Amino acid sequence: MTDRVHPSAKTTANGGPKPTFPAAKSQLSGANRPTYRPQPPRRRSRGCLSTLCCYLFMILLLLLLLICGAGTVLYFLYHPQRPSFSVTSLKLSYFNLTSPSTFYAKFDLTLSTTNPNDKILFSYDPTSVSLLYDDATIATATIPSFLHHQKNTTVLEAYVTSTEEEVQSDTVTELKRSTKGKSEVALKVKLETKVEAQMGVFQTPGVGITVLCDGIDVSLPDGEKPASASVENTACEVDVRFKVWKWTVG
């Protein structure tokens, strides 16, 4: 019997079968490896945003420094001073407390204001005038707008009246109690307005100003004769209020 020869069998030089070797690891893994595709560069949005914020902050800081510098220069050039106020006279021409819960009165008020600056002109908006009893408003009036020139004293007059709707019943009751058996009543004068300062070609925005005059003793009228107030001991305090955005600095 003869031996069968398989054509697929490979032999070596000495007649033995040729050994087979497994495929290399690089060849096996390379068959399934995905194709490399370079990623596009990322946008630096955060870096740009932070840079923009830094530029805006520097611009705002520069503007603030310029404003402070200009304000300092104007202060040393003009030496601004607050205006002063005083009550010249206050007369009570009519006073009615006969009814249980109503009050009606008429006052003639004269004030004077002085501008101590020699280079600054004040421009006043309409001024609200209030007469206060125990911090409650009992009469009101309005003084029209006016210009207050340098080194000048201006006289202001107001006809101040009260109505039944303006005065609360609790205030009327307390006012009756305090004036019972007395010939005078203590009142305060309050002014509220806005003023602009003109310094050469420069003009400031409107600044809130409040004036409170205390120590006024008003005599009660006897019959139809008006009664005058004692204003010798009156002291007026001027409060200037600067409004920065939503905050008020006084």
3-state secondary structure of 248: strand
Q: Please write the tens of the pLDDT for every residue from 176-233.
A: 777 676 778 889 999 999 999 888 888 888 899 999 999 898 887 776 677 788 888 7
What number of other Cβ atoms are within 10 A of residue 249's Cβ? Answer: 8
Retrieve residue 246's tokens: 């939503």
pLDDT band for position 92 (50/70/90)?
confident
Report how far residue 38's alpha carbon sits from residue 34's, in angstroms, rounded to the nearest whole number. Answer: 12
Retrieve residue 32's tokens: 């399934």
Which whole number is the average pLDDT over 62-87? 80
Q: Which CA distances in Å does 208 have to 36, 126, 139, 180?
A: 71, 12, 22, 38
Report how far residue 104's alpha carbon sits from residue 102's, in angstroms, rounded to the nearest whole number. Answer: 7
Which whole number is the average pLDDT over 116-128? 94
Report how far residue 187's alpha carbon sits from residue 139's, in angstroms, rounded to the nearest whole number. Answer: 11
Contact 163, 153 (CB under 8 A): no
Residue 58, pLDDT above cutoff 60? yes
Domain 84-241: state its class.
mainly beta
Report how far residue 174's alpha carbon sits from residue 172's, in angstroms, rounded to the nearest whole number. Answer: 5
Domain ranges within the chain, ordered by starting residue:
84-241
Task: Give pTM, 2 decimals.
Answer: 0.68
- Lowest-confidence region among 10-14, 39-43, 79-83: 10-14
Report how far residue 150's alpha carbon sits from residue 79's, in angstroms, rounded to the nearest whole number. Answer: 13
DSSP character string of 65-129:
HHHHHHHHHHHHHH-----EEEEEEEEEEEEE--SSS--EEEEEEEEEEEE--SS-EEEEPPEEE
Instruction: Say what the pLDDT of residue 245 is.
Output: 43
Instruction: Say what the pLDDT of residue 246 is.
Output: 41
